[in-house]
Structures are given as C-alpha cells and as structure tokens.
Amino acid sequence: MSLSTPPPLFKRYQTPSSSTDITQQVLSTLTDLGLESNPIHFSVLYEWVIQCDPFLSNEIEQALTEQHYSDQTAEIFYMDLIAQFLGLHIPSEEVEHLLNGLQSRLDDWQNTTQNQSKAIKKGMAQLLSSPMPEQSKHTLSRQLLPLIQAILANTAQLQKAVGASSFEIRRLKQALKEAHALSRVDELTKLANRKGFNETLNLMAQEALQLQASFAFIMLDIDYFKKINDAFGHPTGDSTLRYIAKLIKSEIKGKDFAARIGGEEFAILLPKTTYQNALQVADNIRLNIASKSLKVKTHQSALSFSVSGGVAMYQMNEPIDRLISRADQALYLAKNSGRNRIKGEGSL
C-alpha cells in the first residue's frame, strides 16, 4: 500500500466536514447528555455524527431520541463497532484433535502415577515393618528410602504441573468450542453463515425424516443491491445487509432459523410449517422490509429497499440440492415478475 493511499479504516472516517467541527459537535453532545468524555462515548457519538454507517447511526439516534442512551447502551454500540473491524481466526479441527489427545494422555499419566505412588508408599511401609537384618533395614531406611521419597516428591510436583496444564487445556477446548460456534456466524449480520446454514439444513432434513414432518425453505434476495452499493458505497451496503437481517430476525420465532448465505441472499428454515404458512411468513417479511427506510447522510431522501423471495417445501428423502434449486427457481420467478414479491414452488 502506498503512503498516498489511506488504509480502510482511515477511508471510513474521511468526510468533507472539518474534523474540528465534528469533534466540537461530539463534545457538545456529551456535555448536553452529562456524560464523561471517554473513548467509548466519543467513538460512538463520532459514528453518529459522521453517519458513515447508516444502520449504526440510526440505532444510536433512536437511543438518543428515546433517552435510552447510557453507559450500558454505549458499550453495546462500541462492541458492535469493534466487531466490524476485527477478524476472527478460528483454530482448525486438527488443533481440537491435538488438544483432545493431549488431555487424554495427561489424564492417563496422572491416574497411573498416582496409583504407582500409592503402591510404592504402601510397599515401603510393609517392607520396613517386616522382619529383616538390621544392616538391611539401615541401608533401606538411610539410602533407598530417601531416594524413593525424593522421586515421589518430584512426581507429586510434576502431577501438580500436569494438573494445571490439564486445566488450561480444558479452558482452551472451551474457547475452541466457542470459536467453532462463531465460525458458523456471519460477522456482518450476526446471522448464521453458509457453513452454519448447511449444517442446520442437513440436521433439519434428518429430523424431518425421523418425525415425518416436513419443513419450509425461504430464499430471499435484496432487489437492486448492486445499485445500492454503486450509488451509496459499500459501507451503506453493509448497513443495508445488517438492517435487513435485523428485520428478518424480528419476523421469525422459536426454532425458525435464518442465515445469510451469499452476498445479498438470505435463507430461512421453518420447521413443522405448511406451504401456505411459509408463503405468509415470507410475505410478512417482504412487507416489513418494504415499509422501512434507512437514512443516509449524503442523500436527502431515505434509502428504501425491497426483497424478492422463493418458497419450497422439503420432500422426504430428496437431495438437499433439489430443495435449494426449487426455492432458487421460485426466487428468480419473483425477480422476473417485477421484484418485491414472493413466489412459491407451486407457481413453477
């Protein structure tokens, strides 16, 4: 990267407004709210003032308007902001296998050495209490016994160290488990990602066979999303994705499952749901999204958007690809029929 090209985060904060004016506005807001001018409040309100992320700016403004803004809400906004900047490096499955094997060997060693130490102590006590020549007892108690006791003491110290290592390995395994779960989450929208979706879809298909109860699959696609990115920029595009993900989550419940499976594509799984009910859920989501808008700093009018969707039902024992294909065909039928509408596989 050349020195003349600012890094991505610096690009985020490039604004035609004077940085001094922005700073003064932020400080003035902090004073009006009676809040401490710390990095958390300053960063959150700075984001609100420059509005480079319309979704986050709207959330902050809503908290300010409804007088819900506080140290607690500021921390949530701040963590949300940081989460956008940080990537997560997930340990591989080989690491998990290594940790499992290492912990198993350490546990086995601890159990074995504890049993051996007890046996040695018991044997020495029995030996010393048994009749034997005084010279042999003297040699045993003065030479061999101290040596054995030293070995046992060193073994006990090593057992403590191994115990601490085992505890650390268990902690790392828990962290790995949490990271494994996060690897199935889309970092931008906090919905499941494609990997998480594929796993859940396969599990739901297995459960459907066991219970002999089908499930519905909804595929949604944001209309004209490329135009949003081209006209407003990628930060606004990201905000749109996060906002729509929030609206989708507000329309599902219970064991319903939502994921972002592509750039502007979302998938919803509805267990134990009929075809007609799935069409209704999909249309409710469409109507909710179409009724909302997102304020963008660089444009006077708010950004409106819509989605098109396809609905299909899982057929027992069918390959998963066929289910996805039918929903995808229904989605494209909705696109080709004028967008901002839902089509089901019954229309194919």
Most trustworthy range by pLDDT among 46-60, 81-95, 295-309, 323-337: 323-337
Q: Is the pLDDT score of 180 beyond 60?
A: no
CATH code for the structural domain at 194-347: 3.30.70.270
pLDDT level of residue 95 (50, 70, 90 thresholds): low
Q: How confident is the model at residue 90, as a pLDDT?
A: 45
More confident residue, 11 or 60: 60
Residue 144 DSSP code: I
The structure tokens listed for 172 are 């790392």
Q: Is the pLDDT score of 270 beyond 90?
A: yes
Q: Identify any residues that bridge with 278 across adjacent strands, giving them in sequence order.
A: none
Identify the active-site residue in 47, 59, 264, 345: 264
Q: How confident is the model at residue 21, as a pLDDT?
A: 76
Q: Is the pLDDT score of 63 beyond 90?
A: no
pTM value is 0.59
How far is Cα 67 from Cα 61, in angstroms, rounded to an integer? 10
Q: How confident is the model at residue 39, as a pLDDT?
A: 79
Q: Kindly report which listed range (165-174, 202-211, 232-241) carries the lowest average pLDDT score.
A: 165-174
The structure tokens listed for 233 are 């920029």
Q: How confident is the model at residue 2, as a pLDDT?
A: 40
Q: How confident is the model at residue 69, as a pLDDT?
A: 86
Q: How far, CA to CA in Å, does 270 sit from each of 71, 195, 204, 215, 267?
A: 37, 18, 9, 6, 10
pLDDT level of residue 65 (50, 70, 90 thresholds): confident
Domain edges within the chain: 8-85, 93-182, 194-347
Tell me, yes or no, if 187 is annotated catalytic.
Answer: no
- List, in sequence order, the alpha helices (H) in 223-319: 225-232, 234-251, 275-290
Nearest to 309 by CA among 291, 325, 329: 329
Q: How confident is the model at residue 172, as a pLDDT?
A: 63
Q: What would the pLDDT profile of 103-120 be if each residue is shown by its tens digit?
A: 676 677 677 777 877 887
pLDDT level of residue 148 (50, 70, 90 thresholds): confident
Q: How confident is the model at residue 242, as a pLDDT?
A: 92
Sign of the alpha-carbon dihedral angle for 160, 164, 165, 167: positive
Q: Is the pLDDT score of 330 beyond 90?
A: yes
Q: How confident is the model at residue 88, as a pLDDT?
A: 41
